[in-house]
Amino acid sequence: MTKNPTKIVLLFGALFLATLMGSYIYNTTTPVGENVKPLKDLGGPFELNSVNGNVSLDQFKGNIVVLYFGFLNCAEVCPSSMGTLSAAFSRLSPATYQHVQGLFVSVDPERDDLVSLNKFAKYFDDRVIGLTGTNQQIEALTKQYGVYFDIVDMESSELSYTVDHSSRFYIIDDTGKLVGAMSHNTTPVELAAGIERIYEKTIAKNRR
């Protein structure tokens, strides 16, 4: 049977587009319509507040950190994403799990108190910490990591406002460097595999 060259071209075109989109999701951190920046221009150290005091990124050097930005009144996306994180953590090998740290950063410090953030974070996994800071700290940190968020008034609602925000898992390696950003549509299997790959690179590097 003679192969149809047009179908072959279309097939390879579709595969290329899928690969390109996958690379875009993994290597950029801001939504369509915002100023997209490569990972190499993002990330870095920070310090915020938890129910147990100040927490800095430097404390977790030697571990793989998964960072997520959201807020407690988020009805669907944040709980769903944290559920993905929890399921991903449960799939990790025991060795990797002991070297992973989840951080949930609230971009709504006006309403999200530290006690409530701690309860929310620990509901999903003991290795997740709830953090926030002043409005100035949150604005600086979101710019530092290329995170989009915007306060949206809701005059007809009891909440008075909500927060639109980008939803991604930011993966930071054992040295504190941002090395990956995965969409909230990422599955637990994909997220766990990404964490495992970075941990394996860490082990290989330390053996040299």
**pLDDT class for 28, splitting at 50, 70, 90?**
very low
Indicate the residue type of 98. Answer: Q
Chain-wide mean pLDDT for the chain? 84
Closest CA to 149 of 172, 125, 171, 132: 132
pLDDT band at 208 (very low <50, low <70, confident <90, very high): confident
What is the C-alpha end-to-end distance of the chain, expressed in Å?
A: 53
| 75 neighbors 106 (Cβ within 8 angstroms) | no
Cα angle 151-154-155, degrees, rounded to a multiple of 5? 130
Say if residue 17's pLDDT is above 70.
Answer: no
Instruction: Summarize pLDDT for 171-184 with one digit per residue, the tens.
Output: 999 999 999 999 98
Provide the pLDDT for residue 157. Answer: 62
Question: Helices H, strands E: what count in the chain?
Answer: 6, 9
pTM of the model: 0.81
Q: Is pLDDT of 38 > 90?
A: no
Model pLDDT for residues 129-142, shown as the tens digit of each residue: 999 999 999 999 99
Q: Which residue has the higher pLDDT, 30 or 97?
A: 97
What is the C-alpha separation between 203 and 208, in angstroms, rounded?
9
Q: Which amino acid is at 148?
A: Y
Q: How confident is the model at residue 107 (pLDDT cuts 50, 70, 90)?
A: very high
Q: Tokens at residue 82, please?
A: 């944290």
pLDDT, tens digit, 9 for 90 and up, residues 46-88: 999 999 999 999 999 999 999 999 999 888 899 999 999 999 9
